[in-house]
C-alpha cells in the first residue's frame, strides 16, 4: 500500500462524476502502489470536440460528457506520466476496488471486455486486445488511463 491520497485538483475533477465511479477511484487510491491523479472527469461537448480534432479521442459520444468516465494518470516524481508500467499498476488497484464494490468497468486498455470480470493481468489484457484488433485488420486505440462504467449496467 502506498498511502496515497487524492489532491485538491483530483477531487475537483470528480465533481459531477457518477457516485459509483467516484467510489471506485477513492478506494483505488487507498489500494494502489502507484500514485495517480484524476486528469479528466466531466468534459463539456466543446472540450470533447477539441480532443477529437487533436486526435486524443476518437468519439464525440464520450462517457466523460455524461460523468461515466475518468482518466487516472500516473503521478511520478511530481509529474503526470503517460507510461504503461505505472498505468498497469493503477489498473490493478482499480480492478480490485471495482470488484470489492461490485462495479462493472470498461478500461481503455481493451475496449471490448468487462475489465472488472477479467482474470488476466493488465499487461496480458492489452496484448490480447492488440492481437484481436490485428486479426481484424484494425488498429488498437489504447487509452490506458481511461476507465468508464459499463454501458450495459449504466446506460
Ligand atoms: Zn478518458
CATH of residue 76: 3.30.1380.10
3 is a domain residue: no
CA of 143 to the centre of ligand 1 (A): 7
Per the confidence metrics, is the pTM higher than 0.85? yes
CA of 146 to the centre of ligand 1 (A): 4
CA of 140 to the centre of ligand 1 (A): 15
pLDDT tens, per residue, the chain with 155 residues? 568 999 999 999 999 999 999 999 999 999 999 999 998 878 888 988 998 899 888 888 889 999 999 999 999 998 999 999 999 999 999 999 999 999 999 999 999 999 999 999 999 999 999 999 999 999 999 999 999 999 999 99
What domain count does the chain have?
1
Q: Is 78 left (phi over 0), alpha (psi -120 to 50) or beta?
A: left
CA of 145 to the centre of ligand 1 (A): 7
> CA 82: distance to chain centroid?
12
Domain that holds residue 140: 8-149
CA of 4 to the centre of ligand 1 (A): 22
Q: Which residues, including other chains, have CB under 8 Å from residue 35's CB and lie 6 or more apart?
A: 2, 4, 74, 75, 76
155 is a domain residue: no
Q: Which residues, including other chains, have CB under 8 Å from residue 45's CB and lie 6 or more apart?
A: 60, 65
Amino acid at each position: 500500500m502506498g498511502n496515497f491520497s487524492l489532491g485538491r485538483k483530483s477531487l475537483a475533477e470528480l465533481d459531477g462524476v457518477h457516485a459509483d465511479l467516484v467510489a471506485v477511484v477513492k478506494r483505488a487510491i487507498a489500494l494502489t502502489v502507484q500514485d495517480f491523479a484524476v486528469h479528466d472527469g466531466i468534459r463539456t461537448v466543446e472540450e470533447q470536440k477539441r480532443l477529437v480534432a487533436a486526435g486524443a479521442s476518437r468519439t464525440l459520444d464520450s462517457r466523460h460528457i455524461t460523468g461515466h468516465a475518468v482518466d487516472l494518470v500516473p503521478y511520478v516524481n511530481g509529474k503526470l506520466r503517460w507510461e504503461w508500467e505505472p498505468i498497469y499498476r493503477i489498473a490493478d488497484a482499480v480492478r480490485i476496488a471495482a470488484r470489492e464494490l461490485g462495479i462493472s468497468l470498461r478500461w481503455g486498455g481493451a475496449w471490448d471486455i468487462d475489465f472488472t470480470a477479467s482474470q488476466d493481468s493488465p499487461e496480458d489484457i492489452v496484448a490480447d486486445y492488440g492481437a484481436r484488433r490485428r486479426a481484424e485488420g484494425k488498429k488498437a486505440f489504447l487509452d490506458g488511463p481511461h476507465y468508464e462504467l459499463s454501458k450495459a449496467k449504466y446506460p
